[in-house]
Amino acid sequence: MAGFLLKRLLQAAFVLFAVTLTVSFAIRLTGDPALMLSQGAGSLTQEDLDNIRQALGLNEPFLSQYLDFVTGLFTGDMGRSFLGGTSVSLLIAKALPATLALAFTSMIVSIAISIPLGIHAAVNRGRGVDQVIRILSLTGLSFPNFWLAIMLVLMFSITLRWLPPSGMDGIASFVMPAVTMGIILTATNVRLVRSAMLETLRAQYVQVARAKGLSERKVLYKHALRNCAIPLVTYFGLQFGGLLGGIVVIERVFNWPGLGTLAFDAVAGRDYPVLQAVITVLALLIVAINLLVDIAYGLIDPRIRTR
């Protein structure tokens, strides 16, 4: 197990190194922050622009800037925003809980919908109910998440005035963004649950449980679902990592005060430290979740440790 864990940790470290290096290089191709900051300041000379770059540390070699950023990751100092001079670590600390809360809520919505629907489709394989659920699942996969978000805002905020259109203010503000992401995730999860249950329902122990006279509900949820839970939990864990990256657009649509909105604002203002920190934190979370899933799966199934 020690060798398996060391291998996974080394892979995670390499991925984080590659991501941070690529991001640090790529965002510097988006434009000159000095020019962005000088807008509205009137006519500036080349010397003025050079002074701005010097103050922001942009005149340093790329590798020097990258090493300063990596060092700051270990000390908790990610630098300061070019726009306002606020500590980037403080901005991340304020935005991260909002993103995680929305991601967890979206996953709960998806799981609560997809498991019953997937089981129902598997039990009624080939029947009308199964066909309807599969068509709805395919339809959900066809919806762009931003389009669905806009439609929900038009219906429930502008037309019906039931829910707040944006912001994070109370439980009601979670409904539309969580449902938007939950529906998109459910479209995939229903098919996964259905496939896993179809395989499990053919197992001999399920037939034995039915022969003992157990209720169909107990057979499905206590015996069948429990035995196909390992691949489902593994997939849901990996999906949560992907959700953190895909939630960026939804946060922008609903003006959610999370990492997605912070990243959009940083792109618009060419705020290198903030954008670099947001992407790095998201990458760190995704890598950590994948690492935990690998470790858990390795503990459950020893065969995985040899891969």
Q: For the chain, 307 residues long, give each residue's pLDDT as a single digit of tens.
A: 677 678 878 888 888 888 888 888 887 777 777 776 666 555 667 777 777 777 777 778 888 888 888 888 888 888 888 887 889 999 999 999 999 999 999 999 999 999 999 999 998 888 889 899 988 888 888 878 888 889 999 999 999 889 998 888 888 999 999 999 988 888 889 988 998 888 888 888 888 888 888 888 888 887 788 777 777 877 887 788 778 877 888 888 898 999 988 988 888 778 888 988 998 888 888 888 878 877 776 665 555 555 5
Is residue 99 a contact partner of residue 91, using CB atoms and an 8 Å limit?
A: no
The values of phi and psi at residue 87, to 5°, are: -60, 130
Question: Taking the CB of residue 268, how many other CB atoms lie within 10 A of it?
Answer: 11
Q: pTM surpassing 0.85?
A: no
Report how far residue 187's alpha carbon sits from residue 185's, in angstroms, rounded to the nearest whole number. 5
Are 136 and 212 contacting, i.e. CB atoms less than 8 angstroms apart? no
The answer to whether 146 and 251 have CB atoms below 8 angstroms apart is: no
